[in-house]
Structure 1
Amino acid sequence: MWMIYPVAWPEDSRWQGRAIWDRVIVRAPSAAMARVKAAKLDRPKEERRMGNETLCFRSGLEDERLYWVRRLKEDEAQVYLDTETAPQVSDVFAARPRLTGRHAQTGQEVQNGNAAADR
């Protein structure tokens, strides 16, 4: 289990208008795979293409200058591995968007692998 958390200052230009996630908890075999699985949180719900263009999408969760990844200790991971709270579909156990300043996000909060209802 891995925790992905932001390390760049919220006003850092590298964010480029991306959502800022306060923390994301992911089950994956490696830190790199955790980033790949977490990046699905930032994918647009519908891909908008016009004509012959290519969709080039890169989530901020994949950028090591924006987010760091650390392995959760066994006792920390156990909180998310409870049989009652284990996700059914996704390997993303929890994700909370950061809601501060000019970077207030519209991202969905994920608890126990399920997206919370839109507010």
Structure 2
Amino acid sequence: MTIWKIEAVARPDDPRWVAGPRYERVFVRADTAAQARLCAGKALAPNPGIVGNESAQQPTPFEDAALYRVVRSSANDAGVAVSEEGEPALIAKSS
């Protein structure tokens, strides 16, 4: 698998950040950039409760290309000792 770096690209005062906390950098192990976005969202995005018949399956901020970009990286960039082998997972974050 590949190590992906997901970086915040929108300004801190961008109104789209109301959906949850803003992370400067998140490192994820995943097969694809899209899978990395989904993995980060599952690990870090707030989980709203279900009200009535609303769906809890809403896009996370990590899926918004205007908020975050995804680039190939390495465990060295993340500053952690982690293998590229294994399941998709969040491996490091910085707020």
Please tell me the TM-score bracket, short chain as reference: 0.7 to 0.9
Residue of structure 1 equivalent to 2:50 = 49
Instruction: Note closer, same or farther for the CA distance 1:77–1:13 as it changes in structure 2 (3 Å cut).
Output: closer
Runs of at least 5 residues in structure 1 that lack an aligned partner in the other structure: 98-119
Instruction: Note closer, same or farther for the CA distance 1:19–1:74 as it changes in structure 2 (3 Å cut).
Output: closer
Normalising to structure 1: TM-score of the pair? 0.62
Offset, 1:74: 7.2
Q: RMSD over aligned Cα, in angstroms?
A: 2.8
Normalising to structure 2: TM-score of the pair? 0.76
Residue of structure 2 equivalent to 1:7 = 9
Q: Indicate the structure whose relative CO is greater, using CA pairs within 8 Å and at least 6 residues apart.
A: 2
Question: What is the number of residues matched between the two proteins?
Answer: 91
Offset, 1:90: 6.3
Alignment counterpart, residue 26 of structure 1, candidates 20, 25, 28: 28
Runs of at least 5 residues in structure 2 that lack an aligned partner in the other structure: none
Q: Percent of aligned positions with the same letter in both sequences?
A: 35
